[in-house]
Each structure stands twice: as structure tokens, then as C-alpha cells.
Amino acid sequence: MAKFVFELNQSLDGYVDHQLLPGDPTLFLHFTERMRGMAGLVYGRRMYEDMRYWDEDRAEWGAKEQAYAEAWRRQPKWVVSRSLTSVGPNATLVKEEIEATMRALKARVDGEIGIAGPELAASLTELGLIDEYQPYIHPAVLGRGKPYFAAARSLLRLTASERIGESVIRLTYVPA
């Protein structure tokens, strides 16, 4: 059975905006290794559209970016969207019966499946499907953006913390 893990970078004040958070080479390598170890990824539309960047090779990429792109492309992806009409390679569009599809996915896949997108995570939380929340806390205060938690959430229990690089902390919470 799969474990659904909602993990995203966030600012100290709780916002997710990867374009405004500072880059960190150690964290980038960490995410490449995480990507290699995942059993798959479930995206909301906006997050998937942002991540499609990794589908095409770019001349300006170095070895680190190429390694991440290779790991990302290998992962099976499920994209939850009612507005998209198609998705890229190694991706499946989920337009209807979202709860049934996610429950079936969780039942048939072994390993961690990354959940990406605050609205998607809120929907899956309401259905009781998120097993872990892993915010990566950056030492930045953005004052704007999308909140990591797009909806109210019942109590969580901290199970782990890990420093990554010089300034990022990954916290791991499970439903209490």
C-alpha cells in the first residue's frame, strides 16, 4: 500500500512560492534523491504545469538539472484536473472519480507517492488520504503567495525533523 506524502517548500510564514524562495544546492540534490526514491507523483493542475518544465531538455542545464529531470521523467504521474485535456509523457489525467482513483492508486502501489499542490492536498486531506505532511521550511518571510495548508487541518503530530543544507528544515507530521 502506498503512503501519500504532501511535501513542498514553504516560507516561515507558511507560503509556497518556489520562485520567491532562495535556491539551495544541497536541497536541490536532496530533492533529486527524493525523486529517485518515489513510487510516483500526484499533481494538481497548477503544480503540474509548473513542473512540466522538466519534460524538455534545456541547453543551460548542468549535470544537476539533467539528473533531476531524468528522475522526474521516470516517475509515473497522475494529474488531477477537470480543465486539462491532455498531459505529457508518463502521466495520466484524472478528471473524474478522483476519490475512487486515488484510493485505488494507494491500494495498488507500494512506496511513497508525492502529493504536490496545496489545493489538491486539501482535497485529499478531507478524504483522509494524506499519510504525512512534510513542509520544507525556508528562512524567508514572503508575506504573500499560496498557503501550504489551503484549508483547515485537524491536529498533527510531529514525528521527525531534519536539517538540510545550511538553512532548510524538513518537518514530518502525521495526522494526530
Q: What is the pLDDT of residues 4-27, one digit of tens each?
A: 999 999 999 999 987 888 888 999
- Cβ within 8 Å of residue 16, ≥6 positions away: 8, 9, 10, 118, 145, 146, 147, 148
Q: Which residue in 106, 148, 99 sits closest to 127, CA to CA? A: 99
Please report which helix (H) or strand (E) contains residue 104, including its range: helix 98-108
Q: The domain at 2-175 falls in which architecture?
A: 3-Layer(aba) Sandwich (3.40)
- pTM for this entry: 0.94
Query: What distance in Å separates the CA atoms of residue 6 and residue 3, rounded to the nearest whole number?
Result: 10
pLDDT tens figures, 73-110? 999 999 999 999 999 999 999 999 999 999 999 999 99
